[in-house]
Amino acid sequence: MSKKNKKKETGSDEEIPAAPRKMRRLRIDSASDSDDNNVPLIVHKFLEVTAKPKKGDYVIVRYEGAYFPGTVENTDGDLYEISTMTFSMGNTFPWPEQCHKIWYQKDAVEEKIAVPTLANSRGFYRVPEMDKFMPKI
């Protein structure tokens, strides 16, 4: 029925508004020839650090060109006091007998990591995130 027919049927002079039109959905093709668009976001290095490390977080720090896993003991602005583990054979890391606490700048903290897993009953831990920082032999 058109508006004119509705007007005649009701017998009044006022117009009845037409029903709202349905909106069409646009399809946007997001495919691209660029390989950068096809890589999952978690692969990008700059996205690994999601937030500032806080007390109790496990991190990897850079000290004199070497990398060590450790835990954040204290923070002061952009400084982090971190207790680090020592490297052992087979890419395992024990906690040292004497605590290795050092204050590090923000840029020395490479990334936050998961809690290290106990590798054996002698107190050696496995840190999978350290694999990419270990030298290739």
Q: Residue 133: its pLDDT value, please? A: 84
Each residue's pLDDT tens digit, 2-61: 555 544 555 556 666 665 665 555 555 555 445 555 544 444 344 344 578 999 999 999
Q: Residue 8: its pLDDT value, please? A: 52
Q: Residue 47: its pLDDT value, please? A: 38
Q: What is the 3-state secondary structure (H, E, C) of 73-117?
A: EEEECCEEEEEECCCCHHHEEECCCCCCEEEEEHHHEEEEECCCE
Q: Residue 91: its pLDDT value, please? A: 82
The whole-angstrom separation of Cα 105 and Cα 93 is: 23
Residue 118 three-state SS: strand
Edge to edge, the sheet with strand 117-118 lists 92-94, 124-126, 117-118
Running DSSP on this structure, what letter comes out for residue 41?
Answer: G
Q: Residue 39: its pLDDT value, please? A: 47
Q: Residue 105: its pLDDT value, please? A: 94
Would you list the domain boundaries of the chain?
51-133
Amino acid identity, position 94:
P
Q: Residue 134: its pLDDT value, please? A: 79
Kindly list the distances between the CA atom of residue 27 and the CA atoms of 20, 30, 34, 38, in Å, as whole numbers in the listed order.
22, 9, 20, 19
Bigger pLDDT: 9 vs 127: 127
Bigger pLDDT: 34 vs 117: 117
Each residue's pLDDT tens digit, 50-103: 578 999 999 999 999 899 999 999 999 999 999 999 988 878 999 999 988 999
